[in-house]
Amino acid sequence: MDWPISEVARMSGVTARTLRHYDEIGLLPPARIGSNGRRHYEEHQLLLLQQILVLRALDVGLPEIGRVLADQVDTVEALRGHHLRLLAERDRLDTLAATVSRTIAELEQSRRDGTPMTAINRPENLFEGIDPSLYEANLRDFPGLYEKAGQLAATTTPAEAEAGQRERTALMIRLAEHMAAGAPAEAEPVQAEIGAQYRALMALHPVSADEYRAIGRSCVDNEQWRGAYEAIAPGLAEYQRDAIEVYAESRLG
């Protein structure tokens, strides 16, 4: 039994255009192509498509997926490995969901009675479920900052590192509170926070207006960085990006 590309698209939720792209790059050739040029898929291809979609859900890129599929020998063993990765990702997301829930409760309590968030005293509490190693490598997109940050980390004491993390966390929460209050990205209190962030970067290494804009875009475009912001409040990554864009345009020229 086989299924035409339109039916596979309907069953899987993947567009026919994507399926054709998978064929073009050699990732998922169809079982056969009919006389009318329409692609048809059999059970083997559906199993491969399932693996591709599982790996995509785990943020594995298409070139790496191709290597995984080429290297595997037994489909059942491959699926067992994917299953273990999915379980680990589920546990990470459960932890992350609990972190966000705790942050919401802390923010609401802080607004009700005016007391500081206890999470600020132990800022790592905000980032349970977010593995820094997943996104720290992305600072390599900004070589000067990456090198200086590495040099600084090598000479920083644990207490100094925690103080820095506490301040960065506090900045993210202050921005989240401005966002929740409806302050636009160009509002002066928001721009003051972004200015403080920019000066902290400049203390490490000179950052041009275009580089600062690129850093702002990375808050949204980079999945790991975005996850760190979204753990504080949904929409915070875009808010940070927009505020940086305003600052770069109005203050840096």
Rounded distance, CA 154 to CA 156, Å?
A: 6
Q: Do the Cβ atoms of 147 and 141 come closer than 8 Å?
A: no
Q: Do the Cβ atoms of 39 and 20 come closer than 8 Å?
A: yes
Q: Which residues pair with 33 in a beta bridge?
A: 39
Q: What was the pLDDT predicted at 78? A: 75
Phi, psi of 229 (to 5 degrees): -70, -40
* Alpha-carbon distance values, 107 to 98, 103, 176, 204, 226 (Å): 14, 6, 10, 31, 20
Neighbouring C-beta atoms of residue 162, cutoff 10 Å: 14
Q: What was the pLDDT predicted at 3? A: 94
Statement: the pTM of the whole predicted model exceeds 0.85: no
Q: What was the pLDDT predicted at 63? A: 86
Q: Which residues pair with 3 in a beta bridge?
A: 41
Q: What was the pLDDT predicted at 153? A: 65
Q: Which residues contact 70 (CB under 8 A, 6 or more apart)?
A: none
Residue owning tokens 């996850």: 227
Rounded distance, CA 159 to CA 156, Å?
A: 8
Q: What was the pLDDT predicted at 91? A: 75
Q: What was the pLDDT predicted at 139? A: 63
Q: Do the Cβ atoms of 193 and 242 come closer than 8 Å?
A: no
Q: What was the pLDDT predicted at 129? A: 45
Interior angle at CA 222, CA 17 and CA 12, nearest 5: 30
Q: For the chain, 253 residues long, give each residue's pLDDT as a single digit of tens.
A: 899 999 999 999 889 999 999 999 999 999 999 989 999 999 989 988 998 988 887 777 888 888 888 877 677 777 777 788 778 777 766 766 676 676 677 777 777 777 655 444 344 444 444 444 444 555 666 777 767 766 776 677 766 766 666 677 777 878 888 887 788 999 999 999 999 989 988 888 888 999 899 989 988 887 777 877 777 778 889 999 999 999 999 999 7
DSSP summary character for residue 73: -
Q: What was the pLDDT predicted at 247? A: 95
Of all helices (H) and strands (E), which one includes residue 32? Answer: strand 32-33
Q: What was the pLDDT predicted at 241? A: 95
Q: Which residues contact 61 (CB under 8 A, 6 or more apart)?
A: none
| 34 three-state secondary structure | coil
